[in-house]
Amino acid sequence: MDYLIIGAGQFGCSLAQDLTDYGHSVLLIDKNEAKVTPYADSVSKVLVGDCCDMDTILELGVDDFDACFVCISNDFQSSLEITSNLKDAQAQKIVAKSERLNQAQLLEKIGADEVIFPERDMAKRVAMHYAKQGIFSNYEILDNMSLAEIELPDSWAHKSLSELKVRQNYNVTVIGFTEDSKFIEMIDPNIPLDPNKRILVLGANEDILALPS
């Protein structure tokens, strides 16, 4: 897939690098040449240009990209102008970075299809990790609902999901295990749980945090 990333701050550059590593084509653009130059050899293409200028947006052919990311930091006015320009240029999908809810609402009104909150989302993941011992990683799926990798509670060891009645008693769903960083699908709810494997659970954050240790 082809992605356009506007803004070579820390988030934009990390996103560009990660998408490239996943095998996608990425164009990273910023008006500051010093910010994009270090990535000239590690992402598909870098450009210097001001996307607040509609001519720059049109020259990029933004409608050819599967998604355009507006990753401007500390300059909300520019984020608004660029998002508006992308909308006017008929970009297929516009994803804008925001720091506050009121900013997100404005970005959506002028054309953003999706607004992300990197700092807030990372803070939530860190908070949940430290709020309960035994959570190794967690990914928020929806507001207040996460997929979490946790240690098997001691009281669950060598018992089956059917015996524990996990859904009824704990209001979470065990979807599988992890072993050596690989996902193992949960197939038979009658098999005793291995205490040496971590489990993946899906549920509301408060229910995950309430699970026994």
The pLDDT score that the predictor gives to residue 36 is 94
The pLDDT score that the predictor gives to residue 131 is 62
The pLDDT score that the predictor gives to residue 49 is 96
The pLDDT score that the predictor gives to residue 138 is 65
How far CA 89 is from CA of 12, 51, 66, in Å, comes to 21, 12, 14
The pLDDT score that the predictor gives to residue 182 is 75
CB contact at 8 A, 46 and 37:
yes
pLDDT along the chain (213 residues), means of 10: 94 91 93 94 94 96 95 90 96 91 89 85 64 64 78 91 91 85 78 87 87 87
- Using a cut of 0.75, tell me whether the model's pTM lies above it: no
Q: Is 108 left (phi over 0), alpha (psi -120 to 50) or beta?
A: alpha
C-alpha–C-alpha distance, residues 159 and 166, integer Å = 11
Tokens linked to 29: 């653009």
C-alpha–C-alpha distance, residues 190 and 12, integer Å = 46
The third-level CATH classification (topology) of the domain covering 121-209 is Alpha-Beta Plaits (3.30.70)
Q: What is the 3-state secondary structure (H, E, C) of 106-140?
A: HHHHCCCCEEECHHHHHHHHHHHHHHCCCEEEEEE
- Where do the CATH 3.40.50.720 domains begin and end in the chain? 2-116
The architecture CATH gives domain 2-116: 3-Layer(aba) Sandwich (3.40)
Angle at which helices 101-109 and 76-88 pack, to 10 degrees?
20
Tokens linked to 78: 């520019």
CB contact at 8 A, 36 and 8:
yes
CB contact at 8 A, 69 and 91:
no
- Where do the CATH 3.30.70.1450 domains begin and end in the chain? 121-209
Neighbours of 88 (CB within 10 A): 14
